[in-house]
Chain A
Amino acid sequence: ICSDNCHMLQKTGVLQQWQDHIGKSCNQTPKGRLTLDKLTFTAWCNSHLRKAGTQIENIEEDFRNGLKLMLLLEVISGERLPKPDRGKMRFHKIANVNKALDFITSKGVKLVSIGAEEIVDGNVKMTLGMIWTIILRFAIQDISVEETSAKEGLLLWCQRKTAPYRNVNVQNFHVSWKDGLAFCALIHRHRPDLIDYSKLNKDDPLGNLNLAFDIAEKHLDIPKMLDAEDIINTPKPDERAIMTYVSCFYHAFAGAEQAETAANRICKVLGVNQENEKLMEEYERLASELLEWIRRTTPWLENRTPEKTMVEMQRKLEDFRDYRRMHKPPKVQEKCQLEISFNTLQTKLRISNRPAFMPSEGKMVSDIASAWQGLEQAEKGYEEWLLTEIRRLERLDHLAEKFRQKATNHETWASGKEYLLSQKDYESATLTEVRALLRKHEAFESDLAAHQDRVEQIAAIAQELNELDYHDVAGVNKRCQSICDLWDRLGTLTQKRREALERTEKLLETIDQLFLEFAKRSAPFNNWMEGAMEDLQDMFIVHTIEEVQSLIAAHEQFKATLPEADGERQAIMGIHNEVQKISQSYGIKANIVNPYSTITIEELLNKWDKVKKLVPQRDGALQEEMARQHAHERLRRQFAAQANLIGPWIQTRMEEIGRCSLELGGTLEDQMTQLKQCEHVIVAYKPNIDKLEGDHQLIQESLVFDNKHTNYTMEHIRVGWELLLTTIARTINEIETQILTRDAKGISQQQMNEFRSSFNHFDRKKNGAMDTDDFRACLISMGYDLGEVEFARIMMLVDPNATGIVSFQSFIDFMTRETADTDTAEQVVASFRILATDKPYILVEELRRELPPDQAEYCIMRMPPYKGHGAPPGALDYTAFSTALYGESDL
């Protein structure tokens, strides 16, 4: 307040001037003399007037027109006074001063003996008194310190404030202030930073006072109002001045103090407020955070979006555990803390008489409580949900796996079945194959049925997976759907295939039946045709007309059967066509081959055509043959005629010869002659034979081999002829031999006749030979005592070729042999023995000595070496040689 004034004063240098002036005029008369009170009052007024932008320089003069007085009052009081009169006349001035005085009066101040005229006239005392009244009223009067007011109050205040300062004792407003310590103490009390009180000295009042005034002016905005020397020098300084100056201090400090107290109170209140606000803020903050946390957390707990996998759910569970163990407990504490804070806050507010704390919208305790409740509810539900979910997922995993396995198994089973069922393999299958396919299909059908409940199981599992809301239920459904679709398709295809197979079977059976029928009929028909063809082509060899005729008749008979055969052919064709029709109209692609028959319809037709062609051919052939046969017949007759003549002739001759050889009368020579004659006859007959040969050739060339017109075949005749020839020759030869034998062996004719007689006798059959029984009987009759062995030996001799007959010659040979005198071989042996001088061997020199050279050499060459004991080398065995010569060898 005062500092502006000081500034102003300093700026104008008026202060110095003024101080100088004060120094000069301190002892002047009251009027014009600057006493302390004038100084002080002037300074005081200026400290207020500067706010109105004006100053007074002379307190005695400047208030005389009342304008500045009014202004001063306005500034001090802060109220407006009535408008001053703007005139220079005295009454104007008086009016103005009166306004001021009236105002002062209106403020409850009794103005004793202070009138406007005196002021206008410039009564110093009155003016000062008025100023003092104003100061008193407006600067001091309102001081109230503990129910003590005004001067006493001010005094009390000073005492209170300076109480701590031992060297200060304020009892009044004059001498107590003389050493300046009181001022310093006041300053120090309120602003210890401005003054170092401990350095002050009681004995330096001037220094103390000036220090205090300087500081007050510089730092406290209290312009200097007192003069330090004046105070020191005056035994009792002007009380009013000091009061005025001290009141400035009071206003400065008390204001400050009030302000401080107020500030303290405010601070306290504010502090409390602030504290409360802080608490409220804290509460709000915590509440917000907590609510935020709850707001964040609750949805997490309420989030019932299931995870797809167990692992993820378990992780969720883990998170929840973490939440319960680690995240929530601090929050629980926070909530608790919040509640405590709230309660504390409310209590504090209540205690400090403040209105109760109303948390902002949504952060009320109830809100928090309800949010927390919500959280806990969510929590509870969450854990349960987690466990349920995990169980569900477990089950789902298990089910899904089950589903997969079953589906895979089923799919594996089903794979390829659709393809197989769609096969049209029956179209080209035979009946047995189709039946086999049917059996196989039956087996498949039962397999299919067995799988029915498996498919149902799969579907059931899929359904459950749906109900339990499996995460990949779409995939499962898709797979299940495809399985079911395939199942339906399989069912349909199975049914269709069954129908197709059965139908095909029936058709094939029908065809089979037809084939069988075909086979049954075509075989005999084929055979018949083949037989017919054979017959028709039969190269008949007929030898008689009758044979031809019968062939012709047979042929006619055959021809009669043709129509029937044709009927059969047509029937068979019909069967074949039936088969063709069936297989074409039902699209049977199988190579329809008749399993019962290898005969094709083409074959049959071919054969039939052939047969038809052959029939007329045969007719022709037969006719030809007929002609030929007639020709042959002629030949036959011709031959027969001839043969019938020749045959008997030969027979007759044979008989002749037989008779001749058997005759006993006459000599062998006679027999011979007869025979020779016979021979001659025979030879002469040859041409007949030749002619017959000729006829025979013809016949043979015509391949006629029979001739019922004669019993004689050419061979007969030929054989007979040859036999005749040989017989005659042999017989002649026999006779010759007999002659020789007779001559050689000296058999007499009689003997010969005897032999002949015996032979004839035993030749029962009279064919010039004896059989073995005859011979045996003969031998017995001749006195031979025959054992079997003997007889066998003899048989060997007489019948070397085992013909079973004994000829007369053999018989004679045998007989003559047996009746020979001595064995010629033995004779020779005996002869050699003589030559060998009774040795069983002979020596070469002996042979050479005794025999002619040729025979000796012959013997030497031919004789085997002798192999007996004691034989010298070169010994020869004459016995073996002899026996060898005569047809015997000893081995």
Chain B
Amino acid sequence: MLACQHLFIREQVLLRGRAPWGFTLRGGTEHREPLLITKVEEGSVAAAVRLQAGDEMVSVNTVTLSGSRQEAICLVKSSHNSLALVVRRWDVQPCSRS
């Protein structure tokens, strides 16, 4: 019987192109919520790098986020033709036979 591991993973993605990148950011410390990606538009750059709804933004362009959405928005908007993101994702991975 295959055991699965539920865990949070960190995913590093690099978006190349320009805004709009194609994802919706929600939450932030202003709302006392985690900073999450709630929507990823089909065919967008974000989709191309396989960003997913539910990913939590951890850092933008190597800047670790404090959790403020305004900060995150500023950082994203300051990107020109590439956007490096680190997100945290709830993942399911199979592990070895036990």
Contacts and interface: CB of A to CB of B under 8 A. Distances in A.
Interface in A863-891: 864, 867, 883-884, 887-891
Contacts of B52: 789, 792-793
B91 A891 contact: no
Nearest to B38: A888
Interface stretch (A55-63, A583-591, A594-602, A794-802): A794-802
B68 to A, nearest CB: 12
Contacts of A566: none
B90 A792 contact: yes
Given A788-B92, A791-B90, A891 B19 contact: yes
A314 interface: no
B20 A891 contact: yes
A891 B54 contact: no
Interface string B44-74: 0000000011111000000000000110010
Interface in A275-291: none
Residue among B25, B28, B30, B52 with most chain A CB within 10 A: B25
Given A792-B89, A800-B33, A889 B26 contact: yes
Contacts of A883: 24, 26
A890 B90 contact: no
A642 interface: no
Contacts of A795: 54, 90
A857 interface: no
A139 B51 CA distance: 204
B26 A891 contact: no
Interface in B17-39: 19-28, 30-31, 33-34, 36, 38-39
Nearest to A813: B33
A772 interface: yes
Contact of B91 (A792, A800, A867, A889): A792
Contacts of A797: 33-34, 36, 54
Contacts of B92: 788, 792
A884 B73 contact: yes
Q: How large is the interface on A (under 10, 10 to 19, 20 to 34, 35 or more residues)?
A: 20 to 34
Contact of B19 (A790, A791, A802, A867): A867
Interface residues of B, number: 34
Contact of A887 (B6, B21, B31, B54): B31
B24 A793 contact: no
A772 B5 CA distance: 12
Given A796-B90, A797-B34, A883-B24, A891 B73 contact: yes
Contacts of A867: 19-20
Nearest to B92: A788
Contact of B69 (A790, A800, A887): A887
A786 to B, nearest CB: 11
A890 B34 contact: no
A793 B8 contact: no
B20 A794 contact: no
Contacts of B90: 791-793, 795-796
Contacts, number: 77
Interface string A771-791: 010000000000000001111
B87 to A, nearest CB: 10
Contacts of B33: 797, 800, 887
Given A795-B90, A797-B36, A802-B8, A888 B54 contact: no
Given A772-B6, A796-B34, A796-B36, A887 B53 contact: no
B76 interface: yes
A795 B22 CA distance: 23
Interface of B is mostly: strand
Given A789-B54, A796-B36, A796-B90, A891 B27 contact: no
Contact of B73 (A792, A793, A889): A889
Nearest to A862: B70
A800 B67 CA distance: 11
A377 B12 CA distance: 131
Contacts of A891: 19-25, 73, 76-77
Interface string B3-16: 00010100000000
A238 B72 CA distance: 215
A731 to B, nearest CB: 20
Interface in A68-84: none
Which of A796, A864, A884, A890 has the most B CB atoms < 10 Å from its CB? A796
- Give the interface SS of chain A, mostly helix, strand, loop or mixed: helix
Q: Which of A792, A793, A797, A864 has the most CB of B within 10 A?
A: A792
Interface string B67-98: 00110010011000000000011111000000
A889 B54 contact: no
Contacts of A794: 54
B59 to A, nearest CB: 15
A887 B26 contact: yes
A489 to B, nearest CB: 87
A863 to B, nearest CB: 13
Contacts of A888: 24-26, 38
A800 B54 contact: no
A686 B89 CA distance: 44
A800 B34 contact: yes
Contacts of B8: 802
Contacts of A802: 8
Nearest to A791: B90
A258 to B, nearest CB: 178
A796 B24 contact: no
A792 B11 CA distance: 14
B75 to A, nearest CB: 10
Contacts of B24: 883, 888-891
B62 to A, nearest CB: 17
B21 A793 contact: no
A554 to B, nearest CB: 46
B27 A887 contact: yes
A745 B51 CA distance: 32
A888 B73 CA distance: 10
Interface in A726-784: 772
Contacts of B34: 796-797, 800
Nearest to B83: A891
Contacts of B88: 796
Given A796-B56, A797-B34, A889 B69 contact: yes
Nearest to B90: A792
A887 B20 contact: no
B73 to A, nearest CB: 5
Contacts of A864: 77
A303 B42 CA distance: 140
A802 B33 CA distance: 13
Contacts of A790: 54
Interface string A527-540: 00000000000000
Contacts of A788: 91-92
A884 B8 CA distance: 26
Contacts of B77: 864, 891
A887 B28 contact: yes
A826 to B, nearest CB: 12
Nearest to B21: A891
Interface of B: 6, 8, 19-28, 30-31, 33-34, 36, 38-39, 52-56, 69-70, 73, 76-77, 88-92
15 contacts: A772-B6, A791-B90, A792-B89, A792-B90, A793-B52, A793-B90, A867-B20, A884-B69, A884-B73, A889-B26, A890-B23, A890-B24, A891-B20, A891-B22, A891-B76
Given A793-B52, A796-B90, A887-B26, 14 more contacts: A792-B90, A793-B38, A793-B54, A795-B54, A797-B54, A800-B56, A887-B27, A887-B69, A888-B26, A889-B69, A889-B73, A890-B20, A891-B24, A891-B76
Interface of A: 772, 788-797, 800, 802, 864, 867, 883-884, 887-891
Interchain residue pairs A-B with the least CB separation, the first 3: A793-B54, A792-B90, A800-B34
